[in-house]
Structure formats: structure tokens, C-alpha cells
Amino acid sequence: MISAGEPAPDFTLRDQEGEKVSLSDYRGRKVLLVFYPQDFSPVCSDQLSIYQEVKPQIAEKGVELIGISIDHPWAHKAFQEKLGIDTRLLSDFEPKGEVARAYGAYIEKFGHANRSLVLIDEGGTVAWVHESPTPLEIPGANLIFDGLASVGV
């Protein structure tokens, strides 16, 4: 897993609308990357729904939330609509898991990302990370707020 203090690897992925999104587009803002295994799994649905509930409090701290999984943009759009969430979801679809690998969040034997959180500061440096012990363990909202507080956000 990438470590705090390292430069965040730049990337360009398509979002749920098919639009290209680069990490560099967020330079000057704090971003919390939420790597998760796959759309429509019960655990991922719970995770993204919980984050949607606390998204306004995260935004109040000046942090933008972005989900990343191996699913196709069309799956992301359907997932977003089913859950009723507005979190931007990026498709690490092809080459499969390339961004998750760059951040050390990819689990080869499962073929998807682990549940990992990466806070990137305004200058593009990793400020805080959390990697779940298993893909079945959701990093809760309190963990996010504790992580933000630990770096003064």
C-alpha cells in the first residue's frame, strides 16, 4: 500500500458519465480516494451508502470523495442510480486495476481492489491511508473522520 508522504500517482479514468477524470484535475483540493472491490456487492453497497450519508460533513472539511473500482462506467452509473448516491465513481476497468495497483490496493488473487482509503492533499501528496484487513471489512465513517483529524483536516 502507498504510504503517507509519497507523491500520489496521477491517473486518468472515466467516470460514471464516461467523462475523463484525472487526479491532476483536483490539484489545489483535498481528495479522498475510496478503492472498493465491485459495484452491486452487498458490502460495497453498504460502504458507499454510508459514505453518502456523511459526504456533506466530509465536504465541510474541504475533502472531495471519489470512488474507484474495476467496474465499467455503465455499471457505475447503474450502481449510482440504484443506491441514490452522487459520489463520482471512476472506472479502473482497462487495463484492469492499473490505478489500484499503482496505489498498492489491488488484490491479485481476487482480481479487484481491497477496501482502501487514500487522502491526497492539495499538492498531490498522500497525507493518510487506510487498508482494510480484508475486502469484507468496511472502513467506517468514524475511521475516515479520525484519519482526517490525524492530519489536521
Which of these is catalytic: 32, 33, 34, 44? 44
| In-domain check, residue 141 | yes
Residue 29 has a pLDDT of: 97
Percentage of the chain beyond pLDDT 90 is 100
pTM for the model:
0.97
Burial class, 99, CB count within 10 angstroms (exposed 0-12 / middle 13-18 / buried 19+): buried
Decide if 89 contacts 102 (C-beta within 8 A).
no
| In-domain check, residue 13 | no
Helix (H) or strand (E) holding 90: strand 88-91
Which range of residues forms the domain containing residue 32? Answer: 26-150
| In-domain check, residue 81 | yes
Q: How far apart are CA 32 and CA 62, in angstroms?
A: 10
User: Which cell numbers in the block locate residue 140?
Assistant: 467506517
122-131 pLDDT tens trace: 999 999 999 9
- Quote the number of domains for the chain: 1
Is 44 an active-site residue? Answer: yes
| In-domain check, residue 18 | no
| In-domain check, residue 88 | yes
| In-domain check, residue 9 | no
| In-domain check, residue 41 | yes
| In-domain check, residue 142 | yes
User: Which cell numbers in the block locate residue 103?
Assistant: 496505489
Residue 8 has a pLDDT of: 98
CATH (domain of 132): 3.40.30.10
